[in-house]
Structures are given as structure tokens and as C-alpha cells.
């Protein structure tokens, strides 16, 4: 059994951006941008939008997506995709693709699936990339990750890690060249799970470090799961506010003008 399932969890009630999945960017719902990127991935045998909201479900049906209606009680997208995974036993691998990353690279999705298929010791595969803006490394809204020599995650944090006693990483005034070091990485919230790892993960209670940092991926590390991190040159930004959606729309418009000129 080597089939891979891609799931995009989507909810309506974002505290900072209600209705975000159906917010129009360049005339197209944000969630549809993500879905269209996913269907370009070659290693996903099925892509499902998992939601508890009929407005999202109806819109996704209209553009031809597979939709799974899930419980409204889920605390996270991971719990939501696990509900779908329980009912789709024919898939050995489950990829959790964030519904607010409209520029997600289909090749990254393929690479995550390939890594899981090629290394049976890995329970989870995720991604990270160097910070483009040095100041972002000090934002609690940007999650950082440090790796061991095999490329597996040692720790995720909202703080700037690693701290270099002699390298000047103690303040946002860090030189730009320092932010581009491979050891200073922004975590990108895409996860490929071995199916049994996913179902085990959601059965565990939130762990102490997870509660301290408010980062559920620490639950996997605290329970001994090997989390491999694919390091890419760049990443795709998430859309968390209407202002970020407007900025992306302007970016896409500029790109289209360059192509047409």
C-alpha cells in the first residue's frame, strides 16, 4: 500500500480573518488557489478538502474538488485530517496542506511524499527554508526549527533559535548574512504523515513543550517520532490577514503584467 492522500483542512471561523478560505484573490477563492496547486502535484493519488462548513463545501464542490464534511469539534487541522484518514484506509501516506498557502510549490508536496516512501524510519516529513528578512527570525508569529546532522528536527520554537553566543543572534539587528545561514530556518507548515503515525499522534494528549510553545509538532518530538525536515531555498507565505491577501493580489497582478508585456 503506497498510495498518498493530500488533505486541505479548511474552517470558516478564523479569529483574525473570518471567511478566509473563500476570500477572493485575483477573482478566485484563496482555497481554490491552494487546491489548484495541489492538483499539479504528481505523487498525490487523491486530494480532499476537509471542512465542517457548508459554505466552503458547496464552493469546493462547484469547482470540482473532493470534499469531506468533518466534525465541528476539532481543535486543529491535524485532528480534522485524521478523521478523514480513518475512513480512507487505502492510503499509506497523508499530507496535511495548509489552506492558506496559495503559492505552495507542487514539487515540495511531491518531495515530501517521496521522502516518506523511501525512508520507513520516518513518521513525519515537513519543510523549512532560510529567513529572507532577518527581523522575521525574532517574530513569535514565525516558527523556527533546528535540525540534527541527518536533517531531522531537534526542536521547534517561536523564539529565535539557535542562539549563537558569538554570532550576534540576540537582537533583530542581526546582519542579513546571518539570517541566510542554513541553521536559521523558518518552518513551513506542511506535514507528510505515515498514516499510522498520524492516527497515533492525535491519540496523544498535548505535551508539556507543546503547551508552552503552542506548537503541536512538539508533541511528535516529545513522543519520540522522527520528524524529517526538507530544506528548500525559499518558501510560500501563509495568508493570515486581509492585508496580506491584498498584498498577494497586488503581487500576482504585477507578475501578470510582466508576463503580458
Residue 173 is predicted with a pLDDT of 46
Joined together, the cell numbers standing for residue 53 give 462548513
pLDDT computed for residue 84 by the predictor = 98
Note the pLDDT tens digit of each residue in 143-174: 999 999 999 999 999 999 988 776 555 444 44
Residue 108 corresponds to which cell in the numbers above?
515540495
Q: What is the pLDDT of residue 172?
A: 45
In the prediction, which pLDDT does 259 show?
A: 62
Contact 49, 108 (CB under 8 A): no
- Examine the pLDDT at 207 and tell me if it is beyond 70: yes
Choose between 177 and 79: higher pLDDT. 79
- Rounded Cα distance, 259 and 27, in Å: 18
Domains in the chain: ranges and CATH: 1-104 (3.90.550.10), 120-235 (3.90.550.10)
Residues 6+ apart with CB under 8 A from 7: 47, 48, 49, 50, 68, 80, 81, 84, 85, 94, 95, 96, 97
What does the alpha-carbon distance between residue 36 and residue 21 come to, in Å, rounded to a whole number?
13
Q: Is 144 left (phi over 0), alpha (psi -120 to 50) or beta?
A: beta
pLDDT at 175 over 70: no
CB 194 within 8 A of CB 115: no
Say yes or no to pLDDT of 196 above 50: yes
pLDDT band at 92 (very low <50, low <70, confident <90, very high): very high
Output Rg (C-alpha) for the chain, integer angstroms. Answer: 18
Return the pLDDT at 155: 98
pLDDT for residue 177 is more than 60: no
Q: How far apart are CA 50 and CA 77, in angstroms?
A: 9
Do strands 185-194 and 144-147 pair parallel, antiparallel, or not at all (unpaired)? antiparallel
**What would the pLDDT profile of 24-69 be if each residue is shown by its tens digit?**
999 999 999 999 999 999 999 999 999 999 999 999 999 999 999 9
139 or 111, greater pLDDT: 111
Query: Can you tell me which residue has the cell 470558516?
Result: 12
- Nearest Cα neighbor of 218 from 112, 165, 143, 166 is 143
Q: Cα separation of 217 and 191, whole Å? A: 9
Report CA dihedral (39, 97, 239, 201) to the nearest 10 degrees. Answer: 170
Contact by Cβ (8 Å): 207, 218: yes
Amino acid at each position: 500500500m503506497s498510495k498518498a492522500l493530500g488533505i486541505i483542512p479548511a474552517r470558516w471561523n478564523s479569529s483574525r480573518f473570518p471567511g478566509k478560505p473563500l476570500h477572493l484573490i485575483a477573482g478566485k477563492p484563496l482555497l481554490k488557489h491552494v487546491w489548484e496547486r495541489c492538483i499539479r502535484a504528481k505523487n498525490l493519488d487523491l486530494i480532499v478538502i476537509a471542512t465542517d462548513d457548508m459554505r466552503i463545501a458547496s464552493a469546493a464542490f462547484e469547482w470540482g474538488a473532493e470534499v469531506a464534511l468533518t466534525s465541528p469539534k476539532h481543535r486543529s487541522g491535524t485532528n480534522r485530517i485524521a478523521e478523514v484518514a480513518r475512513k480512507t484506509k487505502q492510503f499509506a501516506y497523508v499530507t496535511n496542506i495548509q489552506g492558506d498557502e496559495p503559492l505552495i510549490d507542487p514539487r515540495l508536496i511531491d518531495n515530501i511524499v517521496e521522502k516518506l516512501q523511501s525512508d520507513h524510519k520516518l513518521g513525519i516529513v515537513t519543510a523549512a527554508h532560510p529567513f529572507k528578512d532577518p527581523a522575521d527570525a525574532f517574530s513569535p508569529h514565525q516558527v523556527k526549527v533546528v535540525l540534527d546532522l541527518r536533517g531531522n528536527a531537534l526542536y521547534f520554537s517561536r523564539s529565535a533559535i539557535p542562539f549563537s553566543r558569538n554570532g550576534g543572534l540576540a537582537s533583530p539587528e542581526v546582519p542579513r548574512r546571518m539570517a541566510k545561514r542554513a541553521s536559521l530556518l523558518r518552518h513551513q507548515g506542511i506535514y507528510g504523515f505515515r498514516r499510522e503515525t498520524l492516527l497515533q499522534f492525535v491519540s496523544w494528549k498535548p505535551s508539556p513543550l507543546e503547551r508552552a510553545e503552542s506548537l503541536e509538532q512538539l508533541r511528535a518530538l516529545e513522543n519520540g517520532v522522527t520528524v524529517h525536515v526538507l530544506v528548500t531555498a525559499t518558501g510560500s507565505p501563509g495568508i493570515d490577514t486581509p492585508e496580506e491577501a491584498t498584498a498577494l493580489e497586488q503581487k500576482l497582478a504585477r507578475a501578470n503584467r510582466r508576463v503580458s508585456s
